[in-house]
Amino acid sequence: MTSLAGLVRPVPVPIGAHTPPRLRECPDCGQLQVLPSLPPATRALCLRCDAVLRDTAHDPFGLPLALYLSAALLLAIAGGMTLMTVSTAGQYHFASLFTGPITLEQRGLWFLAVLVIVTTFAAPLGRVALMVTVLIGIRLPDPPRGLRVIFAWEERLRPWSMIEVYLLGVFVAFVRLTTMAHIEIGPALYALGALMLLMVAADFALDRQSVWEALEGADRRRARRLRRPSAAVTPAAASHTAASHGAGLTRLGCDTCGLVSRAREGAVCPRCGFTLHARKRDSVAWTWALSLAALILYIPANIYPVLTVIRLGAGQPSTILGGAQELLDLGQWPLALLVFVASVAVPVLKLGGLALLLISTQRRWQGRLRDRTTIYRIVDAIGRWSMIDVFMLSILVALVQFGAVATVQPGFGAVAFALVVILTMLAARSFDPRLMWDAARR
């Protein structure tokens, strides 16, 4: 173990509260290291792989609470008002956040309907509600015990909240609609844009480790009042307690809250209550299974049409690649490039990147570990952006229903492609990059 003092990058700030020194395990390479006391507005990086171990903030609770409360208001506006209105041949149709999923369900594509409503409304609403509950709860004299579980589940919801991806899908749909009808932008779209900015700002302002430390401190105060040992212990206390119970213990970093404890595999984290594992269980097997399933589905996702545009009784099926070609024909080559990269190149790169990571781990390659860790971070971050086509489809099927004049029908290719996106996201989440460093060391 070694100090991070040489890699802490301070920003000139007013004198404020410093964080306590903590022992941390890097989530990307598994290196145990002492995180020193940090002033506000400071970033600490892993000594071995440059992973961000902590970002401190001037106001870790007040500013994020205000931003999340504002986000709740904007989400209510976005969910209750009109997103877009289109008109042609004297007919009018409007779309909201819920119109697309309802139309998809009526067409028998309930899976797409559930996926769209979860990623565009349920997950953002859940994140905002959970964060407001936690940030208000830790200000109470006696915070409820359930805040730890609530905060842990908010972290799990974060990858599935896709407001920014949905906005890109709306923009693509807007461009394609310009050739079919007159379009008017509704207030919900402006609310979604502001919501996206607020969510980004709130996540940037929030110091998650400060929240865990506040919850840990609340447990210690509660334990002192009850005059019994605290349920949340410091790493030093955990080491002392573990040593008194004999051998067979090791330092395990919690994947949920980041606390390092001396414990046995499968024990319960003393801070958040989730199960401790040295590494993700069956990581390689699960990643292979999910990646191969995504690869199989990627074939019909590109062969079958994602949607069919019927104009004056004549149908024009469109695949994923055909959608990019249509945008190119309209002269929107930057948007065509965006759709091609997000819907064609990204899934291929994700599957190739996951295969490289898995093979290098199983073959115990020792070279370019930092580069492979960077590949993992990219693969984990970019997968959600492939949902652009699915969101575009949900807008088009809701708005373009003008009978014999123009109608958009969803296709099976959209279901297969949505499954590819979900499976590759799950595959990236199931892979444990620390296994690459373990295999190289062995």
What does the domain layout of the chain look like in residue ranges? 5-55, 214-263, 283-441
More confident residue, 187 or 246: 187
User: In the numeric block, which tokens belong to residue 239?
Assistant: 């080491």
In the structure, what pLDDT confidence band is assigned to residue 337 with cuts at 50, 70 and 90? confident
Per the CB < 8 A criterion, the answer to whether 56 and 39 are in contact is: yes
Length of the chain: 442
pTM: 0.86
User: In the numeric block, which tokens belong to residue 153?
Assistant: 């589940």
User: Mean pLDDT over residues 122-142, rounded?
Assistant: 92
More confident residue, 140 or 129: 129
Predicted pLDDT at 245: 47
User: Mean pLDDT over residues 45-63, rounded?
Assistant: 89
Q: Is the pLDDT of residue 52 over 60?
A: yes
In the structure, what pLDDT confidence band is assigned to residue 107 with cuts at 50, 70 and 90? confident
In the structure, what pLDDT confidence band is assigned to residue 232 with cuts at 50, 70 and 90? very low
CB atoms < 10 A from the CB of 20, how many? 11
Per the CB < 8 A criterion, the answer to whether 102 and 95 are in contact is: no
User: Mean pLDDT over residues 297-309, rounded?
Assistant: 88
User: Mean pLDDT over residues 102-112, rounded?
Assistant: 90
pLDDT digits (tens, 9 = 90+) for 64-81: 999 999 999 999 999 989
C-alpha angle with apex 270: 268 to 276, nearest 5 degrees?
Answer: 35
- Grouping H, G, I as helix, E, B as strand and the rest as coil, residue 235 is helix
Per the CB < 8 A criterion, the answer to whether 369 and 29 are in contact is: yes
243 membership: H or E segment, kind and range = helix 235-243
Average pLDDT, the chain: 84
Instruction: Give the rounded percent of residues in the chain with a pLDDT score beyond 70.
Output: 88
Predicted pLDDT at 225: 73
In the structure, what pLDDT confidence band is assigned to residue 15 with cuts at 50, 70 and 90? very low
Distance in angstroms (rounded) separating the CA atoms of residues 2 and 169: 46
Taking alpha carbons only, the member of 438, 440, 254, 435 closest to residue 354 is 435
Distance in angstroms (rounded) separating the CA atoms of residues 391 and 218: 42
User: Mean pLDDT over residues 125-153, rounded?
Assistant: 90
Distance in angstroms (rounded) separating the CA atoms of residues 172 and 377: 27
The dihedral formed by the CA atoms of 164, 167, 171 and 176, expressed in degrees to the nearest 10 = 120
Distance in angstroms (rounded) separating the CA atoms of residues 97 and 99: 6
Q: Is the pLDDT of residue 236 over 70?
A: no
In the structure, what pLDDT confidence band is assigned to residue 408 with cuts at 50, 70 and 90? confident
Predicted pLDDT at 312: 63
Q: Is the pLDDT of residue 174 over 60?
A: yes
User: Mean pLDDT over residues 53-67, rounded?
Assistant: 89
